[in-house]
Amino acid sequence: MTTVLYPETLTSMAMSAADKAVRKRDGRAAEWDPERIVRAIALAFYAYRNKGADNPFRDDQAKHYGLSLMDHADALRIAGMVINTVELRALKGVKPSVEEIQDIVEMMIAGAGHFEVAKAYVLYRARKSEARIAKHGISGISDYIAMSKYARYREDLGRRELWPEAAKRVFDMHRNRFAAILGNEAFGLDRTLGQLIDTAEEAVRDRKALPSMRSMQFGGDAIEVNNARMYNCTFGHIDHVRKFSQALWLLLSGTGVGFSVQKQHVSRLQPFPLRASAEDLPVKHFTIPDTIEGWADAMQELVMSYYEGTYIEFDFSQIRAKGAVLRTSGGRAPGHQPLKKALEKIRGVLDAIPGRKMRPIEAYDILMLAASAVISGGIRRSATIALFSADDEEMVNAKTGEWWKHNPQRQHSNNSAMLVRGDATKEEFMSLFNAIRQFGEPGFYFTENADYGANPCVEIGLAPSLVVDATIRAKLDAYGYSEPVDVGDTISGWQHCNLTTINGRMCETPEKFYELCTVAATIGTLQAAYTEMSYLGPVTRVINERESLLGVSICGILERPDVLLDPAVLRKGAETCVMTNRAVAETIGIQPAARVTCVKPEGTASLLLGTASGIHPHHAKRYFRRVQAARTEPVYNFFKSWNPQMTEVYGMKADTTDVITFPIEAPEGAILKKDIGALQFLDMVKLVQENWVVPGTAHEKYNPGLRHNVSNTVTVKENEWEAVADFIWENRAYFTGVSLLGATGDKDYPQAPNEEVTTAADIVKWNNLTYEQVDYSFMSEAADYTSLKETVACAGGACEIF
């Protein structure tokens, strides 16, 4: 018999028990029990009166759940209001859920004037909710990403390599390269080079640090044949006809490409002579070799035919059929169609130019059409950024109107206007800022010098030109440079940067952070020694060897804010990186790096490490992280055989694609997305730039004012845009590029990449995502089905969303 003291209502007498059933969190119906309402309210009163102390009478109805007669009477009165409200709703056919009933309880307690009791009830609900949510340990996402994106096929084992085997492959490559000096001690580090390499391999094996992810993908023969495959990113000026074919070669090598089509650079291209109609031109035949050099040479031959007055016809017969195994780089051949389609579309652009100079928009479109061939090919999705003159209206408007219909190739780049800090006006900046708010592009790029540039994700400062002096002239001659050049001339090539990553979650103390700084800088310095890229020529080699850039990044900064947002700790870490680089560089015989530290987006790397990405916060305390997978992918099908409960059809591509839903829980103490607004986030970016990136600039001998950067993407609420614009402009000395996105909810569309666990249905789903650890050593494959085009290390623009 209930203790509720209120007159029995008509609704109580007129309704059956089934009509008053309650929907539980798992969807099942439960019997309506008014006494549970009384008890919940009474426990909230007791918690408030006794400052949260344990209640020995929490289940003792006869003792009024430990309340005084007055408090118990108040609890009964409030319970009566709740019960009447619930039963009236039930009479109208609305079966209440547990959460809806709890909302009514909370409202009625506050409505009765017991605000502190209401607060105690809110805390009680939170504790109960926390107790109901499963605690997932390993979610499985790290191993899945390692196997699906980076593992190479081992024919001798009949399977893909496991993570420790992949790490060994990469560091064995370094041991082979430096075999003669492994016993040499690195000055100031009290360890031999061999010991430093062993320590670095152990850290990578334990996922405390990561090397260049290109080295994980291509480490071994593929990099030894083509050193460009070591590098995440590069940048060059489109100021010479050869740059088009070189850009295609770099993309085919798996490198992210930044390029300048600023007016002062494109204007250096020679004018195209007038051209007869195609049928009146002499025909030149070119058989395309089945190599990435062959594809790039085809581009060069096509562009040069417009200078030479010939009509080029291509023979694609030597290119392997689609699906053939690529033995050196891994994966499968794309066939000839992607290249053929791209060349014909580029021919269409070139047909409009004869009799004048090329315009920046035309140079841009040629490069984007080349990128289309790479996307359709067997290497990777193309990552590019186009930097252009702020007064170039054609480039400013490149992605306005229905550009995706008429120029779909432009989707392959992010575009940003160059703003030289000392010359740009706020009006120029605001024009670009408002374009971002309205269209998403073009972006802005703050710089000290219009000849500087960046990689697609804008965390690396690059300068691909040099002024020739006697020393440089001697090096060019030694590397076989044959073009006429005098001391004082400015020449350009491509500048590269290799990246490494510190796992911020592992930095529980400053000392552990400094240890990983040494590891990451060691790896980066080893990687910087790989500079043989004959297709790009001697100028590029001299540029890269002169500054030997590193990009030591931190992934998961906001997981350890007490350590990784401490200015003194960051500065000492940066100094440790610079010192380590100098010691290892001296040991292996290369120049120390000019710029050492950065923060990259860390999109895929964060999944591999199980952390938040770069400087961005976790999406929520608990959230679903979804990864798309083609149903034909062997790794996905093997994963699904172990964990079918974590997979479902992807609604946007229901015929071909599924999604895996991984349960992600942020560690205690981590900063979450809801904890900070856009301005707070930008202030953190500024802090890390000042105390990690700037101290990691070892010297500015060749490129004054050039810095690496903190790659960041900011979600801006509707009421924040004006303040964000002012903050960026006033602090432009600390920002180079900032990606800006308008705020949207993670439940605005189904199967979002990140979705917070908030509702009762979410909790049920969360609890059902128990991961059974997959043993990938049992995954056998008769042939190589790896797909190297799936992973983008330098993805550009809105790499990661805050």
Q: How many CB atoms lie within 10 A of CB 710?
A: 29
d(CA 164, CA 757): 33
pLDDT at 330: 57
Q: pLDDT grade, residue 168 (50/70/90)?
A: very high
Q: Which two tokens stand for residue 652?
A: 């946007």
Q: Is the pLDDT of residue 7 over 50?
A: no
**In the chain, what percentage of residues exceed pLDDT 70?**
92
The pairing of strands 490-492 and 465-467 is antiparallel
Longest dimension (CA), the chain: 106
Mean pLDDT on 12-23: 57
User: What does the pLDDT look like over 690-733, one tens digit per residue?
Assistant: 999 999 999 999 999 999 999 999 999 999 999 999 999 999 99
User: What does the pLDDT look like over 221-253, one tens digit per residue?
Assistant: 999 999 999 998 899 999 999 999 999 999 999
Q: pLDDT grade, residue 191 (50/70/90)?
A: very high
Q: Is the pLDDT of residue 588 over 90?
A: yes
The pairing of strands 713-716 and 739-742 is parallel
d(CA 334, CA 319): 9
> Of the candidates 546, 536, 534, which has an alpha carbon nearest to the alpha carbon of residue 493?
536
User: What does the pLDDT look like over 740-778, one tens digit per residue?
Assistant: 988 888 888 889 999 999 988 888 899 989 999 999 999
Phi-psi region of 274 (alpha: psi -120 to 50; beta: other; left: phi over 0): beta
Residues in Cβ contact with 413 at an 8 Å cutoff, skipping those fewer than 6 apart: 364, 367, 368, 371, 384, 385, 386, 456, 796
Q: Is the pLDDT of residue 94 over 80?
A: no
User: What does the pLDDT look like over 310-352, one tens digit per residue?
Assistant: 999 999 999 988 877 666 555 667 788 999 999 999 999 999 9
> Of the candidates 146, 528, 152, which has an alpha carbon nearest to the alpha carbon of residue 329?
152
Q: Is the pLDDT of residue 121 over 90?
A: no
Domain boundaries, the chain: 10-132, 233-416
pLDDT at 138: 77
Average pLDDT of the chain is 90
Q: pLDDT grade, residue 797 (50/70/90)?
A: very low
Q: Is the pLDDT of residue 506 over 70?
A: yes
Helix %, strand %, coil % for the chain, to 5? 45, 15, 40
User: What does the pLDDT look like over 367-391, one tens digit per residue?
Assistant: 999 999 886 544 445 589 999 999 9
pLDDT at 378: 42
Verify cis geometry, omega within 30 degrees of 0, for the bond prior to 442.
yes
pLDDT at 512: 99
Mean pLDDT on 775-794: 73
Q: Is the pLDDT of residue 655 over 50?
A: yes
pTM for this predicted structure: 0.83
The pairing of strands 29-30 and 22-23 is antiparallel
Residues in Cβ contact with 43 at an 8 Å cutoff, skipping those fewer than 6 apart: 55, 58, 65, 124
Show contacts of 7-16: CB within 8 Å, 24+ apart. 9/84, 9/87, 11/84, 11/87, 11/88, 11/90, 11/91, 12/87, 14/91, 15/87, 15/90, 15/91
Q: Specify whether the CB–CB gap between 284 and 311 falls below 8 A.
A: yes
pLDDT at 5: 42
Q: How many CB atoms lie within 10 A of CB 308?
A: 13
Which residue has 């007038």 as its token pair? 274
Q: pLDDT grade, residue 18 (50/70/90)?
A: low
Mean pLDDT on 459-480: 95
Q: How many CB atoms lie within 10 A of CB 778?
A: 9
pLDDT at 131: 60
